Amino acid sequence: TPRVFSGIQPSGGLTLGNYLGAMKRFVDMQEDVAETIYCMVDMHAITVWQDPDKLARATRELCAGYIASGLDPDKSILFNQSQVAEHAQLAWIFNCVARMGWMQRMTQFKDKAGKNAQNASLGLFAYPALMAADILVYHTTHVPVGEDQKQHLELTRDIAMKFNHDYGVDFFPLTEPVIEGAATRVMSLRDGSKKMSKSDPSDMSRINLTDDAETIAKKIRKAKTDPEPLPSEAEGLEDRPEARNLVNIYAALSDQSVEAVMREVGGKAFSEFKPMLADLAVAKMAPISGEMAKLMQDQAEIDRILADGADRARAIAAPILKKTYEIVGMVGA
């Protein structure tokens, strides 16, 4: 039976990229799949130093963001990673399965470690093994993510395969990445060649989940474009990264294919298309930020949801970890 797992780092500042590439798709899967498990990966967040008060706030804010986006804590399991120790326990075993060379090839490590990789934390290097543990400790079958996580999911399959091979078992499944829809890679509003990211120094490059209606509209009005009107067909977007990005955002927000959007807006000037996109983005996003702010006023309720989610997650993970320990030959499991 299908089981969906995915996670987001509570490192502060959720963007339209996180929403369209991940959260909105988590909600869609919640309706289609019986078991959906969504995590706030706080242990991944601290692979680069986080201020403790901010980490706690970002974890609760992410939980509020999940719920405001449409996740229902009764249908989906919502919890933070550190509270289900099985993630860390399985990660250690995977640290012993994965090879240094595999980790060295990870582009996210190279990007985040920068020029001075010797100074990166050991946790940042081992990050993908913990991610594989997040996924495999539930015997997850499907993982919805944005395009930038593809390499990590391939590594997860490599770890599952090597574990199964080294111990002569058929125990961990080969998980399918689910990278689908028009917005698997939302780009910066200022530069169509850069991913929309919370770490971009320019706030105008992104829409934050906490932006109000006026800010959202302004950022879209000022988004970078080229001088030509939109092409009449989707193919005409190929060499026009900024135009393509805005059309992709429009398609994802309105639950349409890019082709259907092009039938509606093809040939229009940006002076006409941008206000349409701004109205749509405000209609879809502003209620989420409003709801998040409301949920954040009841911290006790958020903490209750996280504790309940952790109990339900642990109930699935514990027997899988126990079996793993037995396979490895760890006495006492």
Should residue 195 be labelled a site residue for ligand TYM when binding is judged by CB under 6 A? yes
Asked if residue 329 belongs to a known ligand binding site, the reply is: no
At 183, the amino acid letter reads: A
Terminal-residue alpha carbon distance, the chain: 26
At 158, the amino acid letter reads: D
Based on CB atoms, which residue is closest to ligand TYM, 146 or 192?
146
Euclidean distance between CA atoms 59 and 82, whole angstroms: 11
Q: Judge whether 222 counts as a catalytic residue.
A: no
Q: Give the H/E segment covering residue 239.
A: none
- Check 195, 219, 274, 284 and give the catalytic one: 195
Euclidean distance between CA atoms 191 and 186, whole angstroms: 11
Should residue 6 be labelled a site residue for ligand TYM when binding is judged by CB under 6 A? yes
Q: Judge whether 294 counts as a catalytic residue.
A: no
Among residues 57, 95, 148, 203, the one that binds ligand TYM under rule CB under 6 A = 148
Q: How many CB atoms within 10 Å of residue 148?
A: 17
Residues 6+ away with beta carbon under 8 Å from 93: 133, 163, 324, 328
Euclidean distance between CA atoms 251 and 276, whole angstroms: 12
Based on CB atoms, which residue is closest to ligand TYM, 149 or 215?
149
Q: Judge whether 219 counts as a catalytic residue.
A: no
Among residues 90, 131, 159, 261, the one that binds ligand TYM under rule CB under 6 A = 131
Partners of residue 5 on adjacent β-strands: 37
In whole angstroms, the minimum distance from the beta carbon of 7 to ligand TYM comes to 4
State the angle between helix axes of 150-167 and 86-97 in degrees (0 to 180), rounded to the nearest 10.
80
Based on CB atoms, which residue is closest to ligand TYM, 189 or 305?
189
Write the interaction track for ligand TYM spanning residues 40-59; mark x where CB under 6 A is met and - where it is not.
Answer: -x--x---------------
The angle at the Cα of 39, spanning 38 to 44, to the nearest 5 degrees, equals 145
Should residue 60 be labelled a site residue for ligand TYM when binding is judged by CB under 6 A? no
Should residue 21 be labelled a site residue for ligand TYM when binding is judged by CB under 6 A? yes
Based on CB atoms, which residue is closest to ligand TYM, 4 or 266?
4
Euclidean distance between CA atoms 22 and 188, whole angstroms: 17
In whole angstroms, the minimum distance from the beta carbon of 161 to ligand TYM comes to 18
Whether 60 contacts 298, CB under 8 Å: no
Among residues 4, 7, 216, 289, the one that binds ligand TYM under rule CB under 6 A = 7
Residues 6+ away with beta carbon under 8 Å from 62: 8, 10, 14, 40
Based on CB atoms, which residue is closest to ligand TYM, 124 or 266?
124
Annotated binding site for ATP: 9-11, 17-18, 146-148, 186, 195-199
Residues of this chain that interact with ligand TYM (CB under 6 A) are: 5-9, 17-18, 21-22, 41, 44, 131, 134-135, 143, 145-146, 148-149, 152, 183-186, 195-196
Annotated binding site: 9-11, 17-18, 134, 146-148, 186, 195-199
